[in-house]
Structure 1
Amino acid sequence: MQTTLSEQAKRLPRAEEAESILRTCVHCGFCNATCPTYQLLGDELDGPRGRIYLIKQVLEGHEPTAKTQLHLDRCLTCRNCETTCPSGVDYHNLLDIGRAVVDAAVPRPLGQRLLRESLRAVVPNPGLFRTLINTGEVFRPLLPEVLQVKLPRTVHPAKARPTTQHARHVLMLEGCVQPSLSPNTNAATARVLDRLKISVTPISQAGCCGAVDYHLNAQEAGLNRARRNIDAWWPSIENGAEAIVQTASGCGAFIKDYGHLLEQDPAYAAKAKRVSALARDLVEVLRDEPLEPLKVNAAMRIAFHCPCTLQHAQKLGGAVEELLTRLGFNLTPVPDSHLCCGSAGTYSLTQPELSRQLRDNKLNALESGKPEVIVTANIGCQTHLDGAGRTPVRHWIELVEDALL
């Protein structure tokens, strides 16, 4: 579409990128057909095409309002629209640019500011998060429902990790909330990879991937976390680590974006590009390996929820399903598997009503084939879906590890 940036917008660090993305959009509206919030609300401004128009207006000099901010806030950043778009519009990067401009111009109410700052303080801090989870368990009956459903129904303790060192080794991001909410996920990953003669090297200095800060519009804080992770991983990368494995697809999607987000940083651009190239979702590692050493008793009937960050951001839709089928698991069909479950990082806390509707719709689809258990590839989706108290939800690698003979 034709775009004329204002003089102020032209001075933005990512002005050329924003203008290029806007001009890619032909305003066809195909994106609305697969947008979860447009399907729920039926408002043009709550679909990708409408949000692109709002961002275009702001970048052309129109004054942003609280209404503009609301419609951008309601976006899940699920990137379903990117999968649908015939023109290849890089929507999520345009949204990041637009949100930053709007938030700089439109002050948020005190309640929103406190919630966002609290999330930024707690979620990326594993020690503090664990303390709050343990405290929450004690006082669960007294908590509001929106917090009760965030506490795990069942915690599967971490099994012992292998100590054998193999010639092949990978790094693994431990994550912020996963060690408390699903502590066995990374341990199960290490045990399965050990069967394939691959060692997992933990790097304790690597912390939050940066996505929480970045998507709550503390973008520089998110990029600083990325820089710290690059510094933490770099010695092992130089020492031959063949991949940086993520068991949470949300983290993986963001790490794979490090190269783009830091391309203007002369001190980190090359290293960030290398880190993004080495980033691998767990399924990418396993699908390329001979699976004969993984002898499993896969009798359980399961449904797989493919997170948006796996299928739309990382373009790995169908990869886990294919792997589980190769291993002999019985997968049930899932209608509308392209739609978001409503977790979307911190979205389930910042937009609880919409998030709950999307969760219930997703569970209805996942449960339509009568699975014994639902599995997924992202801790946010896992916690969000399991919080409904319906069919148990776990990470898929835990089922694989449990089934090993």
Structure 2
Amino acid sequence: MQTNLADFIKNTRAGKEADAILRACVHCGFCTATCPTYQLLGDELDGPRGRIYLIKQVLEGAKATVKTQSHLDRCLTCRNCESTCPSGVEYGRLLDIGRKVVDDQVPRPVAQQLTRKLLKEFLPRPWLFKPAMAAGQLLRPLLPRTLKNKVPEKHGAGIFPRREHARKMLLLDGCVQPAMSPNINHAAARVFDALGVQLLVAPKAGCCGAIRYHLNDQAGGLDDMRRNIDAWWPYVIGSNGQGVEAIVMTASGCGVTVKEYGHLLAADPAYAVKAKAISALTKDLCEILPAFEAELQQKLQGKITQRVVYHPPCTLQHGQQIRGKVEGLLRSVGVDVQLCADNHLCCGSAGTYSVLQPELSYRLRDNKLDNLQASQPDMIVSANIGCLTHLQSGTQTPVRHWIELLDQALA
């Protein structure tokens, strides 16, 4: 694709990156075939190719409009198009750049501004979010359906193991997950403890930065990333020169963001080297546990009898390009696990998307649940807190993180 970027962005870091991404696109349209919003709406401008044209026009100097903003807002950022694209177009990065330019040109209505402000200031702060979630769970039977969908039922977390092990890894506690489903990280810690690995939590680490960054508070998102790097760095270098083996992610949405720290902070002279090291250390659970497959087989064979269907989050299969590892590990320890017909498509959660675009989000959820429940599973498992909460809001079938399944069997 030929480009002629406007002067306001041409020689900036974002402009140079956008130019390279645009030039990689060959207009083939393969991406539209796997775009969830294009499938629902049938509008070229609600597919990746159309959105790329809109972003290109704005970066070349055309005035952004409310219509431009709406089409970009309706993108889930699921990055399914990146998995489909034969030319390697980094659509997610282009979208972040384009959305920021469009939002700078098109003021949002006051209601939208307030909603986005609330999300980016409230969700990443556990000291605000946790008591609010606890109150919501207490009052859940009285809540209207729209709010009840965002408040999962309370589940006990059990103990977080404190045994010392020679092998140590860091665990990102995150921002919303400890309040919405504290058992996920506790379950991961118990599974690793049983395998002789100690998971550590850095007290000053928090939100990975994705919430603010993808709501176009990119400066705030980068500050969250720097804070995490500062919190983790003493554990990375270690007191005796031997640091942690990995930084473990139990939420694939956080994982895809932390793996991009090296890129996002590459122009920051104080953090570029550290950010690259942090990204290299970051691993999803399913990248680490296959190394313990033989031990898990010995401990778990025959203990998990439920029929399970697995929903691979977009942030895992498209963002991190990790496929087959979760279901492969579960099958290796004797779990009857299936994938549904549209396993490559988004469930509609997509971070804050279910709040900002509820109609499309719930249509995608219902389509996904129809396919997930076609095999009449005893349980639906996934690997991201957003997917888990969103899917559970539409079904009575238990929806759990797959690590909870292993933890339950080990117990």
Deviation at 1:350? 0.3
Distance in 1 between residues matched to 2:276 and 2:168, nearest whole Å:
20
Q: Which amino acid aligns with 1:47?
A: G
Distance in 2 between residues matched to 1:390 and 1:66, nearest whole Å:
39
- 2:338 corresponds, among 332, 335, 338, to 332
1:181-202: CA deviation from partner (whole Å, max 9, x where unpaired)? 1111111101111111111111
Residue 4 of structure 1 aligns to a residue whose secondary structure is: coil
After the TM superposition, which of the residue ranges 129-138 and 205-214 deviates more from structure 2?
Answer: 129-138
Distance in 1 between residues matched to 2:162 and 2:265, nearest whole Å:
35
Normalised TM-score (structure 2): 0.96
Query: What's 1:48 paired with?
Result: 48
Q: Is 1:146–1:352's contact at 8 Å kept on the other side of the alignment? A: no
Q: Is 2:308–2:378's contact at 8 Å kept on the other side of the alignment? A: yes
Distance in 2 between residues matched to 1:73 and 1:110, nearest whole Å:
16
1:270-317: CA deviation from partner (whole Å, max 9, x where unpaired)? 000000000000111101224325612011111111000000011112
1:6-405 maps to which residues of 2 (within 5 A)? 6-140=6-140, 143-153=143-153, 155-239=154-238, 240-293=243-296, 295-296=299-300, 297-404=303-410
Deviation at 1:133? 1.4
Identify if the C-alpha distance between structure 1 residues 291 and 204 changes in structure 2 by more than 3 Å, giving closer, same or farther: farther
Deviation at 1:390? 2.9
Q: Is 1:311–1:317's contact at 8 Å kept on the other side of the alignment? A: yes
Q: Is 1:188–1:398's contact at 8 Å kept on the other side of the alignment? A: yes
Q: Is 1:130–1:180's contact at 8 Å kept on the other side of the alignment? A: yes
- Unmatched runs of 5 consecutive residues or more in structure 2: none
Normalised TM-score (structure 1): 0.98
- Unmatched runs of 5 consecutive residues or more in structure 1: none
After the TM superposition, which of the residue ranges 52-61 and 327-336 deviates more from structure 2?
Answer: 327-336
Distance in 1 between residues matched to 2:138 and 2:173, nearest whole Å:
26
Residue 200 of structure 1 aligns to a residue whose secondary structure is: strand
Distance in 2 between residues matched to 1:317 and 1:226, nearest whole Å:
26
Identify if the C-alpha distance between structure 1 residues 191 and 291 changes in structure 2 by more than 3 Å, giving closer, same or farther: farther
Deviation at 1:11? 4.3
Distance in 2 between residues matched to 1:333 and 1:313, nearest whole Å:
19
Deviation at 1:332? 2.6
Distance in 2 between residues matched to 1:291 and 1:174, nearest whole Å:
28
Residue 294 of structure 2 aligns to a residue whose secondary structure is: coil
Deviation at 1:345? 0.3
Q: Is 2:187–2:407's contact at 8 Å kept on the other side of the alignment? A: yes
Distance in 1 between residues matched to 2:85 and 2:9, nearest whole Å:
26
RMSD: 1.2
Runs of 4+ in 1 over 4 A off after TM superposition: none
Residue 175 of structure 1 aligns to a residue whose secondary structure is: coil
Distance in 2 between residues matched to 1:103 and 1:182, nearest whole Å:
33
Q: Is 2:316–2:323's contact at 8 Å kept on the other side of the alignment? A: yes
Distance in 2 between residues matched to 1:301 and 1:36, nearest whole Å:
27
Q: Which amino acid aligns with 1:353?
A: E
1:344-386: CA deviation from partner (whole Å, max 9, x where unpaired)? 0000000000000000001111111110010100000000000
Q: Which amino acid aligns with 1:91?
A: Y
Q: Is 2:293–2:332's contact at 8 Å kept on the other side of the alignment? A: no
Identity of paired residues, percent? 59
1:196-224: CA deviation from partner (whole Å, max 9, x where unpaired)? 11111111100100000000000010001
Identify if the C-alpha distance between structure 1 residues 138 and 196 changes in structure 2 by more than 3 Å, giving closer, same or farther: closer
Distance in 2 between residues matched to 1:137 and 1:168, nearest whole Å:
37
Deviation at 1:12? 3.5
1:57-91: CA deviation from partner (whole Å, max 9, x where unpaired)? 00000000000000000000000000000000000
Q: Alignment length, in residue pairs?
A: 404
Distance in 2 between residues matched to 1:134 and 1:198, nearest whole Å:
31
Deviation at 1:139? 3.9
Q: Which amino acid aligns with 1:183?
A: P
Distance in 2 between residues matched to 1:384 and 1:269, nearest whole Å:
35
Residue 159 of structure 2 aligns to a residue whose secondary structure is: coil
Deviation at 1:138? 4.1
Q: Which amino acid aligns with 1:281?
A: D
Q: Which amino acid aligns with 2:113?
A: R
Distance in 2 between residues matched to 1:67 and 1:376, nearest whole Å:
34
Distance in 2 between residues matched to 1:164 and 1:125, nearest whole Å:
29
Distance in 1 between residues matched to 2:13 and 2:26, nearest whole Å:
24
Q: Which amino acid aligns with 1:82?
A: E
Distance in 2 between residues matched to 1:87 and 1:254, nearest whole Å:
23
Residue 397 of structure 2 aligns to a residue whose secondary structure is: coil
Identify if the C-alpha distance between structure 1 residues 139 and 184 changes in structure 2 by more than 3 Å, giving closer, same or farther: closer
Residue 292 of structure 2 aligns to a residue whose secondary structure is: coil
Distance in 2 between residues matched to 1:311 and 1:247, nearest whole Å:
14
